[in-house]
A and B are shown apart, each in its own frame.
Chain A
Amino acid sequence: MSEAPPLLNLSGVNTHIGPYHILQGVDLAVPRGALTMLLGRNGAGKTTTLRTIMGLWHASAGAVTFDGADITAWATPDIARAGIGYVPETMGIFADLTVRENLLLAARCGPIDEARLHWIFGLFPALEKFWSLAAGVLSGGQKQMLSIARAMIEPRKLFLIDEPTKGLAPAIIANMIAAFRELKKSPDTTILVVEQNFLFAKSLGDAVAVMDNGRVVHAGTMAALADDRDLQHRLLGLHLDQHQ
Chain B
Amino acid sequence: MTARGASPVPLHHRDLLPVLLVPAVALAALPLVGSFSTWVTLTLAGLAMGMIIFIIASGLTLVFGLMDVLNFGHGAFISIGAYAAAVLVPSLAGFLHADSLFYNLVALLALIALAMVVTGLLGYAFERIIIMPVYGQHLKQILVTVGGLIVAEQILVAIFGPVQIALTLPTAFRGALVFGDVAIERYRVIAVVVGLLVFAVMLLVLNRTRIGLLIRAGVENGEMVEALGYHIRRLFVGVFMAGSALAGLGGVMWGFYRETLTPAMGMDVMVLVFIVVVIGGLGSVGGCFIGALLVAVVANYTGFLAPKLALVSNILLMALILLWRSRGLYPVAKR
**A residues lining the B interface (CB < 8 Å):** 54, 56, 75-77, 80-81, 86, 88, 92, 94-98, 100-101, 104-106, 108, 128, 131-134, 136-137, 150
Contact = CB atoms under 8 A, between A and B. Distances in A.
Given A76-B226, A88-B227, A108-B229, A97 B216 contact: yes
A94 B227 contact: no
Of the candidates B214, B223, B334, the one having the most CB atoms from chain A within 10 angstroms of its own CB is B223
A75 B228 CA distance: 12
A88 B224 contact: yes
B228 A108 contact: yes
A105 B214 contact: yes
A94 B226 contact: no
Interface string B324-335: 000000001110
Contacts, number: 84
A54 B8 CA distance: 30
Given A76-B226, A80-B228, A105-B228, A96 B6 contact: no
Contacts of A97: 213, 216-217, 220
B13 interface: yes
A134 B221 CA distance: 15
Interface in B262-300: none
B308 interface: no
B231 interface: yes
Nearest to A92: B224
Contacts of B231: 75, 77
Interface in B202-238: 210, 213-214, 216-217, 220-221, 223-232
Nearest to B4: A131
A193 to B, nearest CB: 16
A94 B5 contact: no
Contacts of B31: none
B10 A98 contact: yes
A80 B227 contact: yes
Given A94-B333, A96-B333, A150-B228, 18 more contacts: A56-B226, A76-B226, A77-B230, A94-B217, A94-B221, A94-B224, A95-B220, A96-B220, A97-B213, A100-B1, A100-B4, A100-B5, A100-B6, A101-B216, A105-B214, A108-B228, A108-B229, A131-B5
Interface residues on B, range: 20 to 34
B146 to A, nearest CB: 28
B35 interface: no
Complex A-B, nearest 4 residue pairs according to Cβ-Cβ distance, in ascending order: A80-B229, A131-B4, A132-B5, A92-B224
A226 to B, nearest CB: 31
Contacts of A150: 228
A6 to B, nearest CB: 22
A132 to B, nearest CB: 4
B7 interface: yes
Contact of B8 (A101, A128, A136): A101
Contact of A92 (B1, B6, B213, B227): B227
A55 to B, nearest CB: 8
Given A106-B228, A131-B5, A133-B10, A94 B216 contact: yes
Contacts of A101: 8, 213, 216-217
Nearest to B219: A96
B4 A132 contact: yes
Contacts of A81: 229
Interface in B73-104: none
Contacts of B228: 77, 80, 105-106, 108, 150
Nearest to A108: B229
Nearest to B7: A132
A84 B213 CA distance: 21
Interface in B1-25: 1, 4-10, 13
A25 to B, nearest CB: 25
Interface in B223-257: 223-232
A95 to B, nearest CB: 4
Interface string B305-329: 0000000000000000000000000
Given A94-B220, A131-B5, A133-B13, A80 B214 contact: no
B216 A96 contact: yes
Contact of B213 (A104, A131, A133, A137): A104
Interface string B127-140: 00000000000000
A148 B296 CA distance: 46
B217 A105 contact: yes
A100 B208 CA distance: 13
Nearest to B228: A106
Contacts of B333: 94-96, 136
9 contacts: A76-B227, A77-B230, A96-B332, A97-B220, A104-B213, A105-B225, A132-B6, A132-B7, A134-B13
Nearest to A86: B227
Residue of A81, A86, A95, A96 with most chain B CB atoms under a 10 A cut-off: A96
Contacts of B9: 98, 134
A104 B210 CA distance: 9
